[in-house]
Amino acid sequence: MYVPTHFEARDGALVDELIDANSFATLVSQREGEPFATHLPLLRERRDGRTVLVGHLARANPHWRAFGDVAALAIFQGPHGYVSPRHYVSPNLVPTWNYAAIHCYGRVRIVDDAAQARAILAKMVERYEGARTDRWTMSLDPEFEAKLVAAIVAFEIDVERIEAKFKLSQNRLPIDRQALLAALDADANAAELAALTRRVLAAGRDRGD
């Protein structure tokens, strides 16, 4: 991913936070000489100081046959939105799109053990059911559950490299940054983008960027 210096994400904790908050990812591998993508949730874990992504896909999906020694790419997308030149004060600026994107590279390991595969499913249910009072639990008929587990391929990705890009007008003048924040604050649909922009710009000022 092309990451100019002024858009490079330097806060590892914020990168992890955005992965967790935007866990519906795009997983890309090479299959038969062409890129092949699957859209799926991935859970981030920390194990012995390293990042591991866990997930599963349907066994009928041929993507899993591309797993192995060649690195795969998991893409997470954070808040994003259109930026009009009207949002700035300075003249001679053009429309653009601001966004946060995180690329995680690593090799995919298939989890063959049925008990471990079920544990991955249970983690995902726990995460996405959350604290709701009517939450669903994996209390299925054992025979039916075994068939469901057999119909998926669970996997883990040992992340070897992370590229994170926060394109949030860091390259604009302070007066334009403030005008942009005012415009985002006025847009109810841009609350997440406004919050992330404010946080990243504030961190840059603290560093003297």
Q: What is the pLDDT of residues 174-193, one digit of tens each?
A: 999 999 999 999 999 999 99
pLDDT at 206 over 60: no
Beta-sheet strands, E only, within the chain: 24-31, 34-41, 43-47, 50-58, 72-83, 96-111, 152-167
User: Tokens in use for 71?
Assistant: 């690195």
* CATH architecture for the domain at 5-202: Roll (2.30)
Tokens 């883990």 sit on residue: 156
Q: Give 136-149 pLDDT, tens digit per residue.
A: 988 888 899 999 99
Type of residue found at 31: R
Length of the chain: 209
pTM: 0.93
Handedness of CA 134, 123, 164, 155 (dihedral sign): negative
Task: Show me where the domains of the chain are located.
Answer: 5-202
Query: Which residues on adjacent β-strands are paired with residue 46?
Result: 51
pLDDT at 194 over 70: yes
Residue 208: per-residue pLDDT? 59
Q: What is the DSSP letter of 134?
A: T
